[in-house]
Structure 1
Amino acid sequence: MELLLADASIDELEAHRRAHPGAEAHAASRLRALLDQRKQRSTELSALNDIAVRLTTVRDNRILLQEVVDQARTLLGVDLAYMGSVYGNEFVIEVTSGALTPKLVGIRLAQDEGLVGLIVRGASPSWTPDYQNEPAFRHITGADSAARSENMRGLLGVPLRVGDRVIGALFACKRSERDFADSEIALLSALAAHAAIAIENVRAIDKLETLNTELSLRTAELEQTLQWDRTLTQVVLQGGGVRSLVREVAAATERPAYFVADVASVPAALEYTATTVEALVDRCRAGADTAVDDAMTAHRVVAAGHFLGVLISVGPDDDQTRLLLDRAVPAIALSLAEERAAAESARRAQDAFLVDLLLHPTSSPDDERRQFHRAGLTPDVTYCVAVGQGNASRAEFEAIALPPGSVVAEQGSRVLLVVPARESAAVRRMINTRATVGISEPARGADALATAFREAQQTVDVLTTLGRDGEVSSARGLGIYRILLSHMAREHLDELTEDKLGPLLAEQTKRGVPLTETLSTYLAHGRHHSATASSLGVHVNTLYQRLEAIDRLIGTQWRDPDDALDLQVLMRLRRSADLLGL
């Protein structure tokens, strides 16, 4: 016991026991062994605590893994230690300590291969006294080749667990056959437990730092976006149009920027690359939100589903530029929509003022000047008024090369055109359209313009009634049908109709027999009975009966060639007047 109290080693106590056998010497040896075990355990626990503290201070995942395998090799007194992580269905060896070659690092194993398969799938420690000859698991060529290069024999592996998940495995290896005691398994498992927590913490911290970095970037982007939005909003609120917004884009991106409405309006500064610009515009018009070329980026500008054009930034594409363009596009679309709405409102107002001038001319000189001014006209200028209908479109009339001071307006389905001119023929030569257009004679002053407007309306009505669609004509071009435009002439037409055809019309109304139609058709067919009967869809005898009735009612003088011609013209004019509602 005195030797034990003097802290003699186990070897000294064993030598004393052999020299002096007895119960006391045997008890002293056993007690020494227990004390040594506890001391070793205390040392290991102290080492584990020190390792745990160090692991909590490591923030680099690679350094952390290396620290773990170095400590495992030291604590267990083995030749080689290595560790790997689980990625999906694979285990990848990442770090080693004491390796003879670099072949181990990077080896990938399926979770049903090698000793690692038993450890990862079973989530429990496993060992073999001789790895290279162990039949309990499936060997693979790559892993066995690396094992042979390291002369791996005795091998112990423990899982790295976080909760119910196995995130990796830690291995301790001897280059000779060896069994592993439970205490060694427990020690390596304890180290693996500390390592798993530390690794998970580092990964969580890395993920958190990544998220924080990303959040900072997003916050900075958001702040920049908000500032950019405020700038653009301020431009719009201050009445700045598309040009002002494009200037802001150019200033913010520090590169040239342009708005291109269509391929026909490429800015002069981009003419050197017009083909590229046209291709970008076409791609955006086809539906692409962004079209990128090596030298420029184009963003589509739309409002209410309508393509308005593209915003182009000259220079290489990058995220910052795209962000600014993305924010600028809605502001430009809004500005364009406002400009178009304002233009449409002004256009409608001017249309209303022009129609008011043509329909309700004022008698006061001051009011007349105001009416002319609001309609976009000048009181002391002579104008011709044109009215188009049918295929008439405002855009088509606005595309005509008209003299300065001309005004185009809409009235329902008709297009009105007021042109400074001293003769209607000059206006007729200007208008090349598919529409039917009536042109007035020159007029000056409010009352005269109102009369000219009625004349143009009546002219286009006559053209339409006569089936002369697509024709452009003044009243003079109507020939004999010009009579329909005169009030006095229409009264005379009524008198002639009553004088020449009155009895015929009365009999027709009374009996319901189309006598005027029969007479008109008969004369139109050159007095051929069979052709007339066929055209009317009646028997020849019926035609003869009707002609006899006509002779009886208006006399036979209508059969005279001159009288027949007069009747033909009279009936054609009368029919046109009826169609016009005159």
Structure 2
Amino acid sequence: MALQEQPILRVLELLAREAPAAAYEELLAPAGAPEARPAERERLAEALRLAAAVRGHIDRRQEREAALSALVDTAHDLTLPYDLDALLRVIARRARLLLNLDMAYISFHDEESGDSYVRTADGHASSLTMGFRVPIGSGLGSSVRSGSAPFWSPDYLEDPRVAHHSLIDDVVRAEGLRAILAVPLRSRDSALGVLYAADRTVRHFTPDEISLMASLADLASVAIEKTRELGRARAEIAALERSASRTRSDLLSVRRANEVHARMTDLLLAGGDLSGLLALATGVLGGTAAVLEPDGRVLASTGPLPEELPGTEETARAVLETHAARRPVEFSPGAWLAPVAAGGEYLGCVLVHPAEPLSDSGLRLLRLTAGTTGVLMLMQRNTAVAESQVREEFFDDLLTVPGRPPAQLRDRARRLGLDLEAPYAVAVIRPEGGSLGRAVVWASSYALRAGGLSNVRGGCLTLLLPSRNPGETARRVSDELTPLLGHPVTVGAAGPTAGPADIAPTHAEALRCLGALTSLGSSGSSAAASELGFLGLLLGDNHSVDRYVEDTIGPVLDYDTQRYTTLVHTLESYFESGSSPTHAAEALHVHPNTVSRRLERITALLGEDWQEPARALEVQLALRLHRTRRTLRAEAPPAGLRDPDGAGASAAGGAGGALTDPFGAGGFGAGSGPGSAGPHADRLRAP
């Protein structure tokens, strides 16, 4: 019995010390058991067979333990923080090493297109794999998605169970793959994608390998979902941080805007102006800013506006659109307009061209600036209304109350910021349709801006404006007022004035110019009395011969008076001789060179164009009026015999009565009678 049990004990001993297979084979060798009988040898062989089975179970258990250990290590690796792409690379590498395969790759489902695409790969040999899109319903992935279970093939290209597709087969050939195992990546009830493991030799996957790969896929799915959740959480945290940062920035901006608004309020209370208000806004926003009137003109600004801004017409349209929107709008790239309104009345807008793009806080500050601007403009309007009443009263006095002491007038003018010794033009405006309401408001504002005075007399607007060119002033007034009223205006102007005492006569001349425009059928046009020439003298309601003569040949009269020359007589002889210097020299009994020199002096005094037909007609008429006026004054009766009411002027005409009114109107009106000698009366000696 002991002899029989001895080989079996030897087998158990070999199992206990995990001896190699060669040690078991020695027990069956003749040298190992020479005395054993056949029955004993059979029992020994059976023991060795059982020992081999035990050894196989032990080997498989060890392999399973090693695989589980590797799976645990993989699970540990998957718990580390990765971004999604890095995590997928770790999963693919672990899958390839876990089963000792040549390649592993992961595909994700595309919910929009319905197909799949390869997101990552490990061990690939061609670049076709990365980003490769797997056609719908083909390859191992379609079987995995439809059955939600692993699917494998020992030789993919030769397997008839697989739904082949030429694109997939080309990639498999390019990679040299044969055996492929595919397991689903699932997250709760949804499928994320497929994990593939492939070998470049024909291989039959065991159930343990398939189970191991499925376990890895489950761990990978959890890690993928965790990484996605972590990514979403990080994105939300980043969004919250950005929101918190914006909130802090907005709070700082609101605080800064409130501080600026408080300074703006202090500025209003201190009597500040629009420029100071804009300076406070641009101190925060940077860049430049301006306040625009409803017609798009700049009322105040902090500096020159960018040249790339649109023109005046486009600006005026944008101002109206801003008012209709009742909110700030982007006028042009980088420039914003904010409406300035008081109730339903539109006052203008604020134009801002900031140094940086305008943020929400910048828009808030822009709205506050526009609102404060509206308050300031209303305050200025109320002040202007009160001041305009004083200015209108002063203008009335200048026009209707003669003989005021000049010192008193200059003192009142100085308090209103006027210098009446400077040249002014008087413009009389008659709107051709509609009421005067809007025109009166405009005139008051325009006169205040221009540094002049305004008034309403006889249904017409009267403006006293600083100007040396009354014609240009009349056209500028017409161009601005006509679009505002929506119908034409007729403007007659005169000037420039030469002191406070000259304002009333200049106003009378502007009225005559307005009457002349009406007589000519030119209502809706604008002109100055000097531009109408003798037509204004003929067609006006009243005639001012003195002013006409002064404006036409005044420099020649002054030259003769100061130097005791006879340029006026030379002019008369020149025209009477048909504009011939030679014939004029014969009539004057002087040398022709003398006439030429006198004509050169006249050209220097009157300008190069005095011999042009239109201008020559003016000069001849002025000469005739001057001669007639001089004749009438020479025939006037002594002062003691004159009619106190001025009737003696016509009664004393005597034989010269035919010269008293060359126009057949019974006289030349104010300024032509003997009691109102012109500025050049008695200057010349008789020719």
Aligned residue pairs: how many? 450
| Alpha-carbon distance in structure 2 between the residues aligned to 1:187 and 1:330 | 63
Distance 1:246 1:403, change over 3 A: closer
**Aligned residue type for 1:289:** E
Distance 1:420 1:351, change over 3 A: farther
Contact persistence 2:391–2:416 (CA under 8 A): no
Residue in structure 1 matched with residue 117 of structure 2 by the alignment: 92
Aligned pair 1:176/2:201, yes or no? Answer: yes
The aligned counterpart of 1:241 is 277
Q: Percent identity?
A: 23
Structure 1 residues 65-144: aligned runs within 5 Å: 65-88=88-111, 89-144=114-169
Distance 1:181-1:283 versus aligned 2 partners, 3 A rule: farther
Cα-to-partner distance string for 1:137-162 (whole Å, 9 max, x where unaligned)? 43333332221122211111011111
Matched with 1:351 is 385
8 A Cα contact 2:331 2:337, kept in partner:
no
Which of 27, 33, 49 is residue 72 of structure 2 equivalent to? 49
The change in CA–CA distance for 1:340 and 1:418 in structure 2 (over 3 A counts) is farther
Question: What is the Cα-based RMSD across aligned positions, in Å?
Answer: 6.1
Contact 1:155/1:173 (<8 A) preserved = yes
Q: Structure 1 residues 125 and 431, CA, compared in 2 at 3 Å: closer, same or farther?
A: same
Q: Secondary structure at the match of 2:178?
A: coil
State the distance in 2 between where 1:9 and 1:76 align.
Answer: 27
Counterpart in 2 of 1:397? Answer: 443
Residues 281, 207 of structure 1: CA spacing in aligned structure 2 closer, same or farther, 3 A cutoff?
Answer: farther
Between 89-98 and 184-193, the greater mean CA deviation after superposition: 89-98
Offset of 1:166 from its aligned partner? Answer: 1.8
Structure 2: how far apart are the matches of 1:438 and 1:73? 101
CA-to-aligned-CA distance 1:375-406 (integer Å, 9 cap, x gap): 9699x99x999997756525753686789763
Task: Point out where structure 1 has 5 or more consecutive residues left out of the alignment.
Answer: 251-256, 293-297, 314-320, 362-368, 440-459, 481-582
Tell me by how many angstroms 1:197 deviates: 1.4
1:154 aligns with 2:154: no
Q: TM-score w.r.t. structure 2 length?
A: 0.50
Alignment of 1:59-458 (within 5 A): 59-88=82-111, 89-239=114-264, 241-250=277-286, 257-260=287-290, 274=307, 276-278=308-310, 282=314, 289=330, 291-292=332-333, 298-303=334-339, 308-313=350-355, 321-324=356-359, 326-351=360-385, 354-355=388-389, 390=431, 392=436, 393-394=439-440, 397=443, 406-408=452-454, 433=478, 434-435=488-489
Moved more, 1-10 or 56-65: 1-10
Residue of structure 1 equivalent to 2:16? 6
| Greater radius of gyration (CA) | 2
- Give the partner amino acid of 2:282: V
* Cα deviations by residue, 1:228-287 (Å, 9 ceiling, x for unpaired): 34323322311251122213323xxxxxx122557865989768x72x233799599657
Whichever residue aligns with residue 288 of structure 2, its letter is Y
CA distance in 2, matches of 1:111, 1:231: 59
Secondary structure of 2:107's partner? strand
How far does residue 213 in structure 1 lie from its aligned partner after superposition?
A: 3.2
Deviations 1:504-529 (A, max 9, x none): xxxxxxxxxxxxxxxxxxxxxxxxxx
2-side partners of 1:79 and 1:220: how far apart? Answer: 50
CA, structure 1 residues 133+438, in 2 after alignment: closer, same or farther (shift >3 Å)? same
Instruction: For 1:341 and 1:143, locate their aligned partners in 2 and report how far apart those are by CA, in whole Å.
Output: 75
The whole-number CA distance in structure 2 between the counterparts of 1:270 and 1:403 is 20
For the structure 1 residues 291 and 41, does the alpha-carbon distance in structure 2 shift closer, same or farther, using more than 3 Å as the test? farther
1:301 touches 1:330 (CA, 8 Å); kept in 2? no
Query: 1:188 is matched by which residue type in structure 2?
Result: M
Q: d(CA) in 1 for partners of 2:134 and 2:115?
A: 6
Structure 2 unaligned regions, length at least 5? 1-7, 29-39, 265-275, 322-328, 341-345, 397-408, 479-487, 494-513, 529-538, 543-687
**Aligned partners of 2:64 and 2:331: how far apart in 1?**
68
Q: SS at the partner of 1:143?
A: helix
Change (3 A) 1:388 1:221: same
Distance 1:205 1:18, change over 3 A: farther
Contact 1:300–1:307 under 8 Å retained in 2: no
